[in-house]
Amino acid sequence: MLHITIHAARRMLRAGDIGARELTAAILERIDAVDGQVRAYLTLTPELALAAADRADAALVAARAAGTTDDLPPLLGIPLAIKDTITTEGIRTTCGSRILENYIPPYQSTAMARLQQAGALILGKTNTDEFAMGSSTESSAYFATRNPWNLAHVPGGSSGGSAAAVAAGECLAALGSDTGGSVRQPAGFCGVVGLKPTYGRVSRYGLVAYASSLDQIGPLARDVTDAAELLGVLAGHDPLDSTSVPAAVPAYAQMLDRPVRGLRVGVPREYFAPGMQPEVEAAVRAAIQVLADLGAEVREIGLPHTDLALPVYYLIAAAEASANLARFDGIRYGLSAAAESLWETYRETRGQGFGPEVKRRIMLGAYALSAGYYDAYYLKAQQVRTLIRADFDAALAEVDVIACPTGPTTAFRIGEKMADPLSMYLTDILTLSANLAGLPAISLPCGFDGAGLPIGLQLMAGAFQEPLLLAAAFAYEQAAGWHTRHPTL
């Protein structure tokens, strides 16, 4: 029951086999029991969750009596966790940073509003690398989250709290945000499903911006069906986000059962570079073989600018971040260091409030945008970004879906890469390109290494091709069955 899916819980709730309060209380007990080890949550809101559960139960009872349970909102009574980079009205939103330690947002993010309208209830806010800048959740200003499969290892990041909470049975599913792999990489490390939608598919209104042209909110879930369910709720045009796209929202969860026979699957040769953990390559190649056995046409493809994705990403993301984080100035909200002048207030507030990784990226970004360097760094990065997009356009003219590993290794040990930022950055090398190209991508479990740590299979597709992407992922998941494995804590 702790590892129940959304779709199974919904059936039980509607049938009256379980109550929303009962389900929520069970998850809260699980959090009580294991979160001291996993440390997935930064903030818990049990009273709010239970009160919402009671309201859901009342609606469920009434609907059962009236025979109208099919008309209930899709996530009624489903307890979820929210990454702490996503604004939650009335609930502390820290972004894993000291600078927002006591910040309680007075407005609601669109993603949260949509979840609440769909009837979901919120258990709390999950840990993240500070302002989503990291790949291990170790750069959180509060504490490191641990991988439920092995507590000595990281859960990945930056949505490590959400991925660990889903894997550990501390919620049914969770929201994360993905700027360079921050949903998919922790999903891979924690053996859950993580989906980054097409850029513009889900509103960013209320997602605290790290890199505006790359950020997307996405679900972390136990299986592909749940990810599709959540995408269906989150997706859609939002007049408050000018970069959200007014495209129709397909019924993703009802479109999973498409056969993969004839599906053209491209395997990019650049994504199996030397240095990759052999067990990862073996598991991913075996997964691709499963798709081939299901009738997919597998072929090798080239994405020639792949090796440039990392420098391009760290220039563009840092440049945007340097401006996005300028608003944390100690004047209107958050940490405010008392000082003798405005400039000292800035220096003290930001000096105390931001951690070293955030400062590093602000400096890198400000440098890349500064007079005399703009053309060589920021502008050049944008030009190369166009080439990376063109790589995908060309490849996706030949194939429907691209299959590759989510990351070159399984989860590393806590502390292993903190002293070496560059080796940390390299853990995202296979996920960055989908953000740069704005394409939808999903990570789902495809096996375990010798140490028992999960391995992630990444699938990517063309813009707004989530139905195709999810159908391919669903076909593999159902054939392989890895999603039924859970860590023991």
Indicate which residues carry an active-site annotation: 83, 158, 182
Among 40, 369, 411, 473, which residue interacts with another protein (rule: CB under 8 A)? 369
Shortest separation between residue 212's beta carbon and another protein, angstroms: 4
Shortest separation between residue 305's beta carbon and another protein, angstroms: 21
Residue 342, interface with another protein (CB under 8 A)? Answer: yes
* Buried-state track 171-182, b at ≥16 Cβ within 10 A, e below 16: bbbbbbbbbbbb
- Which residues touch 199 (CB under 8 Å, ≥6 apart)? 213, 214, 216, 243, 435, 438, 439, 463
Residue 343, interface with another protein (CB under 8 A)? Answer: yes
Residue 464, interface with another protein (CB under 8 A)? Answer: no
Shortest separation between residue 322's beta carbon and another protein, angstroms: 7
CA distances from 98 to 103, 167, 199, 380 (A): 10, 27, 29, 34
Residue 395, interface with another protein (CB under 8 A)? Answer: no
Give me the residue label for tokens 């709390």. Answer: 124
Residue among 438 and 467 whose Cβ is closer to another protein? 438
* Buried-state track 309-318, b at ≥16 Cβ within 10 A, e below 16: bbebbbbbbb
Residue among 67 and 106 whose Cβ is closer to another protein? 106
- List the interface residues with another protein, window 105-124 (CB under 8 A): 105-107, 109
Shortest separation between residue 339's beta carbon and another protein, angstroms: 8
Question: How far apart are alpha carbons 127 and 93 in whole angstroms?
Answer: 10
- List the interface residues with another protein, window 123-182 (CB under 8 A): none
Residue 386, interface with another protein (CB under 8 A)? Answer: no
User: Residue 106's Cα: distance from chain center in Å?
Assistant: 24
What are the tokens at 3? 């590892």
Rg (CA), the chain: 21
Q: Are 182 and 443 in contact (CB under 8 A)?
A: no
| Per-residue mark of binding to another protein, 64-103 (x: CB under 8 A) | ----------------------xx-----x-x----x--x
Residue among 96 and 119 whose Cβ is closer to another protein? 96
- List the interface residues with another protein, window 204-233 (CB under 8 A): 204-209, 211-213
Phi then psi for residue 91, to 5 deg, are -120, 125
Residue 346, interface with another protein (CB under 8 A)? Answer: yes
The CB density around residue 26, as the number of other CB atoms within 10 Å, is: 16
Residue 376, interface with another protein (CB under 8 A)? Answer: no
What are the tokens at 16? 């009256």
Shortest separation between residue 369's beta carbon and another protein, angstroms: 4
Q: Which residues bind another protein (CB under 8 A)?
A: 86-87, 93, 95, 100, 103, 105-107, 109, 204-209, 211-213, 239-243, 319-320, 322-323, 325-329, 331-333, 339-343, 346, 366, 369-371, 374, 378
